[in-house]
Amino acid sequence: MVLIFLDQADGHIKKSSFEAASYGAKLAETLSTTAEGIVLGNVNDDLAALGKYGLKKIHAAKNETLNNFDDEVFTHIIAEASKSTDAKVIIFSNNFNGKAIAPRLSVRLKAGLVSGAVALPETSNGFVVKKSVFSGKAFANVSIKTEIKIISLNANSYKVIEGEGSAEIVALNVEIPQSKVKIKEVKKVEGEIPLAEAEIVVSGGRGLKGPENWAIVTDLAKALGAATACSRPVSDSDWRPHHEHVGQTGLTIAPNLYIAIGISGAIQHLAGVNRSKTIVVINKDPEAPFFKAADYGIVGDAFEIVPKITEAVKKMKGIS
């Protein structure tokens, strides 16, 4: 059986989990077995509807103590669930939570782990998983030979496949260990599209010259229904909050569309965004390194170009 960890936040299943579910269901089909999901915490979504992604069962541990993520507690519960269900392959999203759980689970279950998978395993001769390496600059094919196998899937590397069906909901009766973590305060960013979940991201760099000019980024993002991001020098200068910093030392994202405004494209920044499906670069320097990685490039003054793009988007969408 293939077991998929369905990550949730604020009572809702994350988009990355739909990708993991579709990936796991297709792998289960290849292995002639079934795909089942596991959810920890109180979820407001209709879990049975997850059957449309190919899941036959959802093992749910509804407990408010699990609403707050704790890698040790989650690892223990998933390990026990995998034993009771005799799961041979366990799938995670390669996000913050998946990166925290998967290695711990690998040690506990003595299971081989491949993180950052970008394609379904090749099973005709063993079990070989293709993964991204060197910050997305290359790929490696890794063979897993252990009985139990763990894969964490890179965001936006496998399409969400919806069909028909309803999953059976099964209560997960496992002992929940006492958490060693005490949460004193939770600060949440309200009213913004989470970068990790965003389909479109509009990002700005030092070419915008100062925080007083950031409106051209936010205006375009609002028109597109996009999240906003920035380069490291921008967040280091306190022009923008640090949670918007994307790059090797910030968030790694993989939206369908990434628009970079006034960003030169240093290797550290590219490492965090090079898995984007489409990259559009707007920069007045025709020699900016980012143009080499761009699918589309516009050479010119961002202060003239971006407002025109924003107006065109508004006109197309009928936004006043």
* Domains in the chain, number: 2
Checking if the pLDDT of 191 tops 80, the result is no
DSSP assignment of 213-263: GTHHHHHHHHHHT-EEEE-HHHHHTTSS-GGGBBSTTSB----SEEEEES-
In a domain, 176, yes or no: no
Using one digit for the tens of pLDDT, what is the confidence trace for 131-147? 999 877 789 999 999 99
39, 8 Cβ separation under 8 angstroms: yes
The closest of 200, 203, 190, 199 to 235, measured between CA atoms, is 203
* Position 123 confidence tier, pLDDT thresholds 50, 70, 90: very high
How far, in Å, CA of 253 to CA of 273, rounded? 5
Q: Which pTM was predicted?
A: 0.87
Residues 227, 154 within the same domain: no
| Beta-sheet pairing, 8-9 with 2-5 | unpaired
Question: What is the pLDDT at residue 286?
Answer: 95
Checking if the pLDDT of 233 tops 70, the result is yes
Residues 10, 87 within the same domain: yes
| Residue 307 burial (C-beta neighbours within 10 Å; 0-12, 13-18, 19+) | middle
Over residues 39-68, the mean pLDDT reads 95
When mean pLDDT is compared across 87-101, 176-190, 240-254, the lowest value belongs to 176-190
* Position 294 confidence tier, pLDDT thresholds 50, 70, 90: very high
Over residues 254-263, the mean pLDDT reads 96
Residues 56, 6 within the same domain: yes
In a domain, 135, yes or no: yes
Over residues 194-215, the mean pLDDT reads 93
